[in-house]
Amino acid sequence: MKTAVSLTLIVFSVLILSGNLDAQKAKSLASSVDTQKSNGLVSGTLAATGAKSTRFENVGAVSDGRSTWLTWQMEVEIGNIGFNVYRVGRRGAELLTPVRIVQGAALQASEIPSYGDSYFFYDETGTVSSSYYVETIGMNGQRIASQTIYPRYVPSLSAATGITDEQMRNTTFRPTRLETETPVFTKDIRTEMEQYRQLADGSTHRMVISQPGVARIGVKREGLYRVTSAQLMAAGFDVTSNSANWQLYIEGVEQAIIVGPAAAYIEFYGRGTDTRETDIRQYYLMNGSSAGKRMGEWVAHPNTSTVLSRSYSQTFVKKERTQYVEDIFNGQAENYYGRAVTTNPNAPAMTFDLTGIDFGSANSTMQLRFQGYVGGAHLIEVILNGETLAPVMGSAQENFTADYTIPTSFLREGSNSIKFRAMGSASDFVFFDTMKIGFNRIFLAQANTLNFYTQNYRATQIGGFTSPNIRIFDITRDGNPLLMTNLTVVPHGPTFGIDMPAERGRSFFAVEDSAILAADSVTRNNPELVGIPTNAADLVIISYKDFMPQAEAWAEYRRAEHFNVKVVEVSELYDEFNFGALSADAVKNFLRYTYENWQTAPRYVLIIGDASWDSRNYENTGNWNFVTPEMVPTIYSETASDDALADFNNDGLAEMAVGRVAARTATEVNTIFTKTVNWESSLSSTSLAQRGALFAHDFNNGYTFDVMSQRLANQLPAGTPSTFVFRGETDANTNLITAMNTGKYIVNYSGHGTAGSWGGNPLFFNVNSVVTTTDHSPSVYTMLTCLNGYYHWLYFPSIAEVLMNTPNKGAVVTWASSAKTLPNFQEDMATRFYTKIGDGDIPRIGDLIRDAKTQVIGADLRYSWGLLGDPMLKVR
């Protein structure tokens, strides 16, 4: 399940960190962390003034002597991009967030005020004698420091905080290495490569994946792969079959392979992919009815040329993907960027390694790409290995670049560094995106591989391998590598190389045996095709593979009501509709196909599995994007939408009723299924009248939420018992939980909110408050606020998820938004919803929601308001 597993983006008050918790409240992280009231000390030249400035509420820390856990809560944030965390020692203040800041409320809400948000940071080398302070980064250039934080000693951080040691270690940022080296081919080679580039064959691909016993082989990197017969057998492939007929396909095109002696393994040249959703490309091995394609051999002729190639042209690419920023609108491009670039003169340099630099080449090239965030002009200082280059210029939220021609002498063999600093106004703030360095490279192996090309009729000497077990493949023609033979390995001191004779220029890959890659996955393929018109279903269940038993149980439950149900494991959709690559488009295209072609088009879609904005696991917290949603733009930000997967005419209104069980474990799926069954078994025509409704509401800050709540209550049948709880009343949290404990039929909140709390104040109601309620009959929850349905949050569960995943209490379904929306439109939808649920003529929750969304016209509002739970749930 989602737990505290990252240091950033804790802007939604998931944790209660105020330090003044009532005794009745459940154990939370902050209950054992001493907090100190902080007035906000200004470290820059702009002082915080009045209610228009960011202010700290309190700060605190605990340490077991080996590491330290810091927490802080903000009274208010206005335009606060994020935080730097400093540890103060004998040598002064050390920045602990050089690559990834702790992101603040502005990255979700721009300059809209945010109240009560809470944050944490784990210092894995901090001690009791360490001291700290936290510094805000304002969009206006303001830097506000907290008071000094002195940790309190505790024997065990885990016991003191309720968070395991492993979870704390996971919060330490360990970025994924995103560096590639690609040859820049000559015109002749490029022309031939394009001539033989393979095009996807959809019909052949469908034939392949429909065969029994096919193994799926996933790869991320470019190189030579080996898959053993044991791996293939574990994936259901018949390794006793005639290996001469083994055939490997990618996107419906057969690839040449090597089959090892006694069919002990196969080898193939593989390449990953690079999309916003995945870097894994799927290959498919089948046992065909005819001979499979095998790698040929090219016998090298003796060298007759005295002309020797000195080097080849290469582009080194380094990306950073450390910050997810949802309020940058960039179309289909990903919203991940690298380190923040500010006016901080002490920001550390970015380091990278280059090898094999040909210093005999006078010049090299470099391109830098940045993503602007704040408005106005950007001017970025660039210092490469101590050499100051021309500054990079950009504007506002542009993605901007600068191209350089630099002396090759500016580069270093081995470790290099480049430093960025904003030179403009104090408020300047951009993100680093990508660096490309083009240079001539000698034929020197790196990590026992070399991806290179030769020039027409020039001999080539490659070297730097650690053993003589070297093979060279001609990879010029896509999918048809040739193994070079008749080559002699030459020792060069402690290393080895090969002298290649002069031939026409070709693209080559050389590899020493220890550098042969293992596949990222080898799995069984399901041969059943779902994209066939003879299928029919009232309900389609799309499940993550680990939850298929639970999905089948859910299907049987609905079948017992005489509904036709089809269960599909989500990787089948990726296989059939996107050549195996994870993609929201694959899910959408499948649903579109069912809508347009199945004999009975589904009316309901139940998704079983969680989602995450970090589909590629950049942050190394785990692959939690089990069933990927569609990422859609709204007025304020990008967000996840399941309804968009079933909208086929782009009006924002799904053609099917969609719900999601946002679970990370089978236990959570079982919990929600049990609550669904129990709800429906106890449902009667008098449930609403007997159990009544609860309306919680916020202060009238920008909208009359009290009047809104009363108007919604008036839509219910006369005499429906309704309880109202106002955030500002005495003992509001106690009164709210007491009312919840009575097991209301329906619960509504109206007001301001975050992903983890109501009212922008975690002491009113938050994810930890759920556990303080006693067991009771679950309720239908409608949450007319922002972000309560932010289920794709990487680090923590949203309040909607916690209400769903908590056994024997909480919610049977929740209807909430994954984005920021305006309360007047929220009320328009809710008025229709409460009217119809009161009338009782629309019995199922998914249909009620689809009907309610017809009352608003904004696609972003329709998309972002999502249902967690079963869309077929009977509510009347």
The CATH number given to whatever domain includes residue 767 is 3.40.50.1460
**415 backbone dihedrals φ, ψ, rounded to 5°:** -75, 130
Residues 42 and 164 in one domain: yes
| Mean pLDDT of the 537-542 span | 99
Per-residue b/e over 500-512, b at no fewer than 16 CB within 10 Å? bbbbebbbbbbbb
Above 80 in pLDDT, residue 596? Answer: yes
pLDDT (0 to 100) of residue 755: 84
**Whether 255 and 343 share a structural domain:** no
- In this structure, is residue 154 part of a structural domain? yes
Q: What is the pLDDT of residue 62?
A: 96
Q: Is residue 498 part of a domain?
A: no
Q: pLDDT tens digits for 349-406?
A: 999 999 999 999 999 999 999 999 999 999 999 999 999 999 999 999 999 999 999 9
Q: Which residues form the domain of 736?
A: 685-841
Other residues' Cβ atoms within 10 Å of the Cβ of residue 268: 22
Alpha-carbon gap, residue 377 to 626, rounded angstroms: 40
User: CB within 8 A of 341, min separation 6: which ones?
Assistant: 347, 370, 380, 420, 421, 422, 429, 430, 431, 432
- Model confidence at 501: pLDDT above 80: yes
**pLDDT tens-digit series, residues 54-103:** 999 899 999 999 999 999 988 888 999 999 999 998 888 999 998 889 98
Give the separation between CA 252 and CA 781, rounded to whole angstroms: 47
Question: Same domain, yes or no, for 734 and 813?
Answer: yes
Q: Dihedral of the CA atoms 673, 676, 678, 683 (nearest 10)?
A: -170
Average pLDDT in the 178-197 region? Answer: 97
Final residue belonging to a domain, choices 441, 471, 491: 441
Look at residue 414 in the predicted model and tell me its pLDDT. 98
In this structure, the number of other CB atoms found within 10 A of the CB of residue 735 comes to 16
**Residue of 499, 456, 484 lying closest to 298 (CA atoms):** 484
- pLDDT for position 762: 59
665: exposed, middle or buried (Cβ count in 10 Å: 0-12, 13-18, 19+): middle
232-257: average pLDDT: 98
pLDDT at 657 over 90: yes
pLDDT digits (tens, 9 = 90+) for 779-806: 999 999 999 999 998 877 899 999 999 9
pLDDT of 14 above 70: no
**Tokens encoding 692:** 């009544």
pLDDT band (50, 70, 90) for residue 7: very low
**pLDDT tens column, 125-140:** 999 999 999 999 999 8
pLDDT digit string (tens) for 803-861?
A: 999 999 999 999 999 998 899 999 999 999 999 999 999 999 999 999 999 999 888 88
Q: Tell me the per-residue pLDDT of 319-359, one tens digit each, with 9 for 90 and over.
A: 999 999 998 999 889 999 999 999 988 889 999 999 999 99
Here the contacts of 728-734 (C-beta below 8 Å, separation 24 or greater) are 728/699, 732/764, 733/22, 733/25, 733/763, 733/764, 733/765, 733/769, 734/22, 734/24
Shared-domain flag, residues 338 and 292: no
Question: pLDDT band at residue 39, thresholds of 50, 70 and 90?
Answer: very low
Q: Of 170, 200, 233, which marks where a domain is finished? A: 170
105, 106, 111, 115: CA torsion to nearest 10: 10
- Calpha distance 343→45 (Å, rounded): 13
Can you give the pTM of this predicted structure?
Answer: 0.91
Max Cα–Cα distance, the chain, nearest Å? 100
User: In this structure, is residue 226 part of a structural domain?
Assistant: yes
More confident residue, 635 or 116: 635
CB 572 within 8 A of CB 530: yes
Q: Are 865 and 789 in contact (CB under 8 A)?
A: yes
192 and 332 fall within a common domain: no
For residue 670 the two structure tokens come to: 């079982």
Within a domain: 238? yes
Could you identify the residue written with the tokens 């049948």? 717
Per residue in 452-497, pLDDT tens? 999 999 999 999 999 999 999 999 999 999 999 999 999 999 999 9
Whether residues 289 and 342 share a domain: the answer is no
Question: How far from chain centre, in Å, is Cα 242?
Answer: 42
The pLDDT of residue 165: 80
Residue 34 lies in a domain: yes
Locus of tokens 């942050």: 619
Mean pLDDT of 121-128: 93
Query: In this structure, are residues 608 and 600 in contact, taking their beta carbons and an 8 Å threshold?
Result: no
Query: Does residue 573 or residue 163 have the better pLDDT?
Result: 573
Backbone φ and ψ for 233, nearest 5 degrees, come out as -65, -40
Amino acid 804: pLDDT: 97
Average pLDDT over residues 674-703: 95
Same domain for 78 and 122, yes or no, is yes
Assess contact for 775 and 741: CB atoms under 8 A.
no
Q: Domain of 117: which CATH number?
A: 2.60.40.10
Average pLDDT over residues 255-284: 98
Q: Are residues 756 and 729 part of one domain? A: yes
Report the Cα 780 to chain-centroid distance in Å: 29
Q: For the chain, how many residues are written?
A: 876
Average per-residue pLDDT in the chain? Answer: 91
Lowest model confidence (mean pLDDT) among 3-17, 556-570, 662-676: 3-17
Alpha carbon distances (Å) from 791 to 139, 329, 616, 743, 864: 27, 20, 17, 24, 11
Mean pLDDT, range 280-298, rounded to an integer: 98
Mean pLDDT of 707-727: 97
Same domain, residue pair 217 and 319:
no
Domain termination residue (choose one: 441, 465, 482): 441
Say if residue 51 is in the same domain as residue 158: yes
Residue 644 within a domain: no
Residues with Cβ within 8 Å of 465's Cβ and at least 6 positions away in sequence, in order, are 445, 448, 495, 496, 497, 510, 512
pLDDT (0 to 100) of residue 566: 99
Residue with tokens 């994924």: 176
Distance CA 200, CA 486 (A): 34
Does residue 531 form part of some domain? no
CATH of the domain at 376: 2.60.120.260
Q: What is the percentage of the chain residues whose pLDDT exceeds 70?
A: 93
State yes or no: pLDDT of 33 exceeds 80: no
Residues 266, 295: contact at Cβ < 8 Å?
no
Within-domain flag for 773: yes
pLDDT score of 549 more than 70? yes
For residue 858, count CB atoms less than 10 angstroms from its CB and return exposed for 0-12, middle for 13-18, buried for 19 or more.
Answer: middle
- What is the number of domains present in the chain? 4
- On whether both 810 and 692 belong to a single domain, the answer is yes
Chain CA centroid to CA 849, Å = 27
Same domain for 116 and 203:
no
66 class by beta-carbon count within 10 Å (0-12 exposed, 13-18 middle, 19+ buried): exposed
